[in-house]
């Protein structure tokens, strides 16, 4: 991914255009803070004024923290309790969304929505309104969830996809330890490496960076202090999305994916004879979405050329698309269309021998086989090239940032100056101790679980730990720099770069393609991805906290235990998903495609596997990345679209178009901002409601008694069991899914446009 999906973070122009709409105009009146709030009122700064440059732009809206503010609440019981609850809730939601849609939900925005809603609710009960610093620390505890999920879903589900649980005889406790510990080590390193860079990005270069995600979060907190929370709209949207998820995934009143191609319908019925008499058994049927036969153009297009359109019908797609924005989503959809509507139909005319020249691993001419083995690998090459382009493009700025930060820290050593509460960090000795402990745990884990029984185990362990630390540190610098410019780090591009580089480096030190070697690669990539993603989240929290008078030291300390909790919840969610339906296959409501982990699996097997890596497909993807870069299109978005199926990218376009339509025709800028701001609440509600019910569905599908009840409520099973034609049922469910999606889209559009801009305070 409400928060932002990670994929939008690579196109800074579209992000700033999108998120800045949520930020109040610099000329607007400051929010009126209820006097029942304990502590002095603190104004929330907007993003730096576009007409002012340098330090003045930054200082313009930043409050000076006076002596009485030093006692302002931040780590209160309220902030801790509700932060932990938000952490657990959004860890499940972000993990589910990443596994289902391939989008990484940044949870700062939905958590800030809930925080200000809770504050208003407590105020109506006669209690005090939450202080802004409390909400900031609630964010620090809760919003780590999405970034932990972002780093985890790349590597950890690959344990199941590579079959390591069977090859290495891993029990459930050991798998949980792997999925928990690797991201937690990376998250800890992300905190250790980011804290020394905070002062440089926030103070020494103030006014030079826009921090769009932090600006959007500040706008929501400011609106909440002014009494405009849209909490009812958020709750209503969540309930509507949850109801849609129940109808689609539990009752199966309509399909979760609309398609113009082939339909796969499954149902259950009780066997009446044989060994399974009295038990539920699965049945399936396949047909075309539209009537047709040999000789019809539609039949030829779908069957012969394998060209069709598909789109998910869940509310979460609308919410994510709204937040991501039109420019980035359009690039993704273009990439998907190139893969599914151009490359696959073209290659479908070749025989198997010709296809194997492009990728020796392909063993069928079916559309799924062609897409998974050729266009998706082209997408991997495009993503890798995009990540390399980004690192090279930013290398000068990142090197300068790192050098300036280290020089500034060196000059401050030995200084007796008393730092303000808003400029106080975790001490360097404490950071060093945390880093040493993390490195030692990583070394022990890597040796005993991956390399103990392989040749040169000690050498491989040392190489893996050094590589993990080096990449994590470099990625942290990239993350901080990208966050200040684009709002959040480019997780996909940089992580794919690591996925392709790490196996090659470890191979040079004697790594084999054994299951233990594959686990070692997952260790390094998992640590690096988590360090990268958590560092970016922490930088945004530092920015929000600095403007609100919060202590960065408390924010950083809160982040580490919050990451531990998030890692545990994310691990449990991944294991639940693996047990319920897994990450491969089709036709089941509980199968989650896990695009990032499948990308990890493809890269590991390409380099460490027995087969030949599809270097030709990777190279073609890199050329495509260069071409779209020259054309001014984000190569990361385009490559990610090539890798993802059209069913996961096309519905995002509907949400992005609604975001543009919401602002169209507004009489003034204030109305545009008010509409877009309300739309963010609706989008967040859609995401939270749909994802939460999705997690509940996974849990129920793993419980035998609940499965029996759901089977009895399953609508296709009832209809087909009563004698209805499976083909007719499949086609009705297909069109009902599109109708339900249209109703949700209409609700979002109408509700967001029916917004009146409040009059500015005199």
pLDDT at 191 over 70: yes
Separation between Cα atoms, residue 570 and residue 568, nearest integer Å: 6
Instruction: Return the pLDDT at 33.
Output: 38
Instruction: Return the pLDDT at 52.
Output: 31
Separation between Cα atoms, residue 281 and residue 283, nearest integer Å: 7
CB-hemisphere CA count at 13 Å for 667?
A: 3
Instruction: Return the pLDDT at 197.
Output: 81
pLDDT at 60 over 50: no
Give buried/exposed letters for 228-239 (b at 16+ CB in 10 A, else e): bbbbebbbbbbe
pLDDT band at 70 (very low <50, low <70, confident <90, very high): very low
CA dihedral 127, 128, 133, 137 (to 10 degrees): 0
pLDDT band at 35 (very low <50, low <70, confident <90, very high): very low
Give rounded-to-5 percent helix, strand, coil for the chain: 70, 5, 25
Separation between Cα atoms, residue 40 and residue 192, nearest integer Å: 32
Average pLDDT for the chain: 79
pLDDT in tens, 324-380: 889 889 999 999 999 999 999 999 888 888 888 888 888 888 888 899 889 988 998
- Length reported for the chain: 762
pLDDT band at 207 (very low <50, low <70, confident <90, very high): low
DSSP H or E run through 410:
helix 375-412
Instruction: Return the pLDDT at 103.
Output: 81
Q: Report percent pLDDT > 90 for the chain.
A: 26
Query: Helices marked H in 487-551 — which ranges?
Result: 491-507, 515-548
pLDDT at 250 over 80: yes
pLDDT band at 36 (very low <50, low <70, confident <90, very high): very low
Q: What is the DSSP track for 68-87?
A: GGGG--SS-HHHHHHHHHHH
pLDDT at 487 over 60: no
pLDDT at 5 over 50: no
β-strands 280-288, 310-312: how paired?
unpaired
Query: Crossing angle of helices 132-142/515-548, nearest 10°?
Result: 170
Q: What is the pTM of this model?
A: 0.80
- Most confident by average pLDDT, 9-18, 20-29, 250-259, 532-541: 250-259
DSSP H or E run through 26:
none
Q: What is the DSSP track for 634-663?
A: -HHHHHHHHHS-HHHHHHHHHHHHHHHHHH
State the Cα angle at 557 between 72 and 19, rounded to 5°: 75
pLDDT in tens, 416-458: 444 566 677 888 889 999 999 999 999 999 999 888 888 888 8
pLDDT in tens, 673-714: 888 888 988 998 999 899 999 889 888 877 767 778 888 888
Instruction: Return the pLDDT at 30.
Output: 38
């Amino acid at each position: 991914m409400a928060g932002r999906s990670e994929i939008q973070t690579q196109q800074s122009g579209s992000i700033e255009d999108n998120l800045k709409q949520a930020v109040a105009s610099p000329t607007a009146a400051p929010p009126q803070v209820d006097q029942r709030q304990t502590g002095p009122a603190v104004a929330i700064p907007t993003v730096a004024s576009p007409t002012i440059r340098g330090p003045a732009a930054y200082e313009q809206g930043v409050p000076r923290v006076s002596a009485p503010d030093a006692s302002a609440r931040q780590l209160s019981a309220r902030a801790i309790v509700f932060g932990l609850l938000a952490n657990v809730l959004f860890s499940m939601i972000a993990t589910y969304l990443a596994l289902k849609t391939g989008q990484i939900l940044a949870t700062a925005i939905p958590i800030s929505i809930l925080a200000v809603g809770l504050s208003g609710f407590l105020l109506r009960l006669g209690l005090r309104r939450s202080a802004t610093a409390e909400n900031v620390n609630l964010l620090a505890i809760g919003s780590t969830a999405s970034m932990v999920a972002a780093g985890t879903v790349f590597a950890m589900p690959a344990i199941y996809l590579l079959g390591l649980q069977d090859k290495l005889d891993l029990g459930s406790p050991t798998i949980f330890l792997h999925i928990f510990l690797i991201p937690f080590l990376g998250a800890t390193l992300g905190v250790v490496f980011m804290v020394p860079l905070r002062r440089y990005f926030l103070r020494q270069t103030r006014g030079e960076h826009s921090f769009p995600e932090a600006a959007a979060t500040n706008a929501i907190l400011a609106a909440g202090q002014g009494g405009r929370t849209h909490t009812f709209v958020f709750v209503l949207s969540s309930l509507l999305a949850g109801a849609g998820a129940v109808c689609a995934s539990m009752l199966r009143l309509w399909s979760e994916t609309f398609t113009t191609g082939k339909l796969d319908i499954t149902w259950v019925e009780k066997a009446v004879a044989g060994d399974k008499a009295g038990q539920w058994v699965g049945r399936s049927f396949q047909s075309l979405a539209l009537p047709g036969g040999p000789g019809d153009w539609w039949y030829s297009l779908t069957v012969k050329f394998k060209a069709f359109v598909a789109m998910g019908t869940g509310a979460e797609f609308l919410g994510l698309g709204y937040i991501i924005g039109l420019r980035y989503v359009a690039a993704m959809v273009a990439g998907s269309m190139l893969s599914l509507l151009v490359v696959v139909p073209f290659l479908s005319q070749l025989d198997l021998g010709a296809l194997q020249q492009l990728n020796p691993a392909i063993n069928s001419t079916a559309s799924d086989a062609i897409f998974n083995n050729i266009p998706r690998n082209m997408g991997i090459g495009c993503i890798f090239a995009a990540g390399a382009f980004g690192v090279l493009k930013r290398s000068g700025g990142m090197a300068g940032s790192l050098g300036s930060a280290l020089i500034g820290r060196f000059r401050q050593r030995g200084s007796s100056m008393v730092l303000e509460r808003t400029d106080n960090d975790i001490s360097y000795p404490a950071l060093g101790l945390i880093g040493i402990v993390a490195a030692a745990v990583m070394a022990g884990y890597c040796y005993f679980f991956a390399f103990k029984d392989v040749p040169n185990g000690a050498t491989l362990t040392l190489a893996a730990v050094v590589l993990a630390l080096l990449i994590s540190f470099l990625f942290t610098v990239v993350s901080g720099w990208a966050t200040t410019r684009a709002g959040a780090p480019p997780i996909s591009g940089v992580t794919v770069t690591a996925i392709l580089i790490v196996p090659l480096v470890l191979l040079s030190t004697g790594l084999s393609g054994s299951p233990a070697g594959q686990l070692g690669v997952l260790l390094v990539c998992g640590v690096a991805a988590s360090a990268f993603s958590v560092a970016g989240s922490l930088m945004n929290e530092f920015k929000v906290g600095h403007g609100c008078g919060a202590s960065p030291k408390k924010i950083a300390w809160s982040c580490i235990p919050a990451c531990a909790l998030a890692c545990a919840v994310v691990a449990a969610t991944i294991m639940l998903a693996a047990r319920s339906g897994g990450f491969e296959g089709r036709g089941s409501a509980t199968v989650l495609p896990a695009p990032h982990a499948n990308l990890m699996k493809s890269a590991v097997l390409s380099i460490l596997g027995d087969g030949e890596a599809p270097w030709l497909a990777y190279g073609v993807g890199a050329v495509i990345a260069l071409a779209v870069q020259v054309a001014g299109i984000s190569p990361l978005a385009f490559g990610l679209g090539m890798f993802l199926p059209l069913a996961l990218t096309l519905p995002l376009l509907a949400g992005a178009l609604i975001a543009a339509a919401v602002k169209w025709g507004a009489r003034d800028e204030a109305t545009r901002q008010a509409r877009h701001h309300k739309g963010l609440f609706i989008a967040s509600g859609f995401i939270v409601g749909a994802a939460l019910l999705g997690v509940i569905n996974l849990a129920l599908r793993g419980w035998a008694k609940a499965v029996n009840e759901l089977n009895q409520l399953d609508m296709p099973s009832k209809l087909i069991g009563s004698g209805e034609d499976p083909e007719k049922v499949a086609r009705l469910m297909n069109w009902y899914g599109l109708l339900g999606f249209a109703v949700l889209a209409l609700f979002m559009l109408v509700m967001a446009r029916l917004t009146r801009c409040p009059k500015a305070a005199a």
